[in-house]
């Protein structure tokens, strides 16, 4: 008997390149998840049209149209109840979720952040990495908890920082591995090979490179 694919809703605020990477992965017959909806906090987010063009149902919940953060999130939670996701993927969603929201889907929300956490949480990660003299940068997929960018790690990918890098050139290099590590990480979560227990990422996979708290994938090169 075929195991049902996990239902995924993706949250975006912009162009949705990571959302498209996830969507591309879900087209494989053996991928354990499917995207059933895309939600944005911006009605003009470029990713909405891209998702719609792929036949994905989209929703925009513009913050200024709601009296409060609580009302805004309540509307989103109501829509999620109808979509019934197993997993929520934050892919460039630029709003912090409240504790109440996170608790409603505890252990089922993952995010991708453009740094090797715990280094450089928050914004301007690439310039901060350059300013700090880093020789390696990268991205992290992690479970979402109430602390910003503090949740347990599911997967990481690293790239070199080159001597002539700017924030933009480094961001472009990191983005290429974001598009690889996010689908890999979602697969692990959807298959139940990694889950959050007691605030930690616990692995149940037997594949090489999977050790306890995190799965590290070094995908970058110097080219």
Q: Is 142 helix (H, G, I), strand (E, B) or coil?
A: strand
How far is Cα 136 from Cα 118, in angstroms, rounded to an integer? 14
* Residues, the chain: 223
pLDDT, tens digit, for every residue of 161-191? Answer: 999 999 999 999 999 999 999 999 999 999 9
**Domain edge (last residue) among 105, 139, 164:** 105
Do 100 and 55 share a domain, yes or no?
yes
What percent of the chain has a predicted confidence (pLDDT) above 90?
85
In angstroms, how far is the first alpha carbon of the chain from the final one?
44
| The pair of three-digit structure tokens given for residue 168, joined into one six-digit string | 């933009």
How many CB atoms are closer than 10 A to CB 15? 15
Do 5 and 26 share a domain, yes or no?
yes
Which pLDDT score, from 0 to 100, does residue 221 have?
A: 40
pLDDT, tens digit, for every residue of 101-124? Answer: 999 999 999 999 999 999 999 999
| The pair of three-digit structure tokens given for residue 12, joined into one six-digit string | 């975006």
Do 83 and 122 share a domain, yes or no?
no
**Domain edge (last residue) among 46, 72, 105:** 105
| CATH of residue 78 | 3.40.50.170
Which pLDDT score, from 0 to 100, does residue 204 have?
A: 74
Do 80 and 145 share a domain, yes or no?
no
Number of domains in the chain: 2
What value, to the nearest 5°, has the Cα angle with vertex 193 and ends 192 and 199?
85
**Domain edge (last residue) among 67, 84, 105:** 105
Q: Which domain holds residue 146?
A: 112-223
Using CA atoms, how far residue 191 sits from 39, 50, 78, 86, 186, in Å, is 23, 27, 26, 11, 8
| Helix 17-26 × helix 167-190 angle, to 10° | 30
- In this prediction, residue 223 has a pLDDT band, given cuts at 50, 70 and 90, of very low
How far is Cα 170 from Cα 188, in angstroms, rounded to an integer? 27
Catalytic residue (one of 72, 113, 126, 179) = 113
Do 203 and 188 share a domain, yes or no?
yes
Using CA atoms, how far residue 154 sits from 20, 46, 55, 57, 67, in Å, is 20, 27, 29, 27, 35
Which pLDDT score, from 0 to 100, does residue 199 have?
A: 82
Nearest to 137 by CA among 113, 121, 116: 116
3-state helix, strand and coil shares in percent for the chain, rounded to the nearest 5: 35, 25, 40
Please indicate, yes or no, whether the overall pTM of this predicted structure exceeds 0.75.
Answer: yes
Mean of pLDDT over the chain: 92
Do 173 and 152 share a domain, yes or no?
yes
Do 151 and 98 share a domain, yes or no?
no
126 counts as catalytic? no
Do 130 and 218 share a domain, yes or no?
yes
Which pLDDT score, from 0 to 100, does residue 3 have?
A: 84
pLDDT, tens digit, for every residue of 63-101? Answer: 999 999 999 999 999 999 999 999 999 999 999 999 999
Do 99 and 36 share a domain, yes or no?
yes
Is the pLDDT assigned to residue 208 strictly greater than 50? Answer: no
Do 85 and 133 share a domain, yes or no?
no
| The pair of three-digit structure tokens given for residue 151, joined into one six-digit string | 């949740």
Which pLDDT score, from 0 to 100, does residue 212 have?
A: 39
């Amino acid at each position: 008997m075929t195991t049902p694919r996990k239902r995924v809703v993706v949250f975006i605020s912009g162009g949705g390149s990571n959302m498209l990477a996830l969507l591309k992965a879900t087209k494989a017959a053996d991928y354990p998840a499917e995207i059933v909806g895309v939600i944005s906090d911006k009605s003009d987010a470029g990713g909405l049209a891209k998702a719609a063009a792929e036949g994905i149902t989209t929703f925009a919940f513009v913050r200024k149209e709601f009296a409060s953060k609580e009302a805004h999130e309540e509307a989103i939670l109501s829509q999620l109840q109808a979509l019934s996701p197993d997993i929520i993927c934050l892919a460039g969603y630029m709003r912090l979720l409240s504790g109440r929201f996170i608790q409603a889907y505890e252990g089922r929300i993952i995010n991708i952040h453009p740094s090797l956490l715990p280094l450089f949480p928050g914004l301007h990660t690439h310039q901060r990495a350059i300013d700090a003299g880093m020789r390696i940068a990268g991205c992290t997929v992690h479970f979402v908890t109430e602390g910003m960018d503090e949740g347990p790690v599911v997967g990481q990918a690293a790239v070199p920082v080159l001597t002539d890098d700017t924030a933009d050139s480094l961001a472009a290099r990191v983005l290429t591995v974001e598009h690889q590590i996010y689908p890999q990480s979602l697969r692990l979560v959807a298959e139940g090979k990694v889950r959050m227990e007691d605030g930690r990422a616990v692995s149940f996979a037997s594949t090489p490179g999977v050790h306890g708290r995190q799965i590290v994938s070094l995908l970058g090169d110097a080219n």
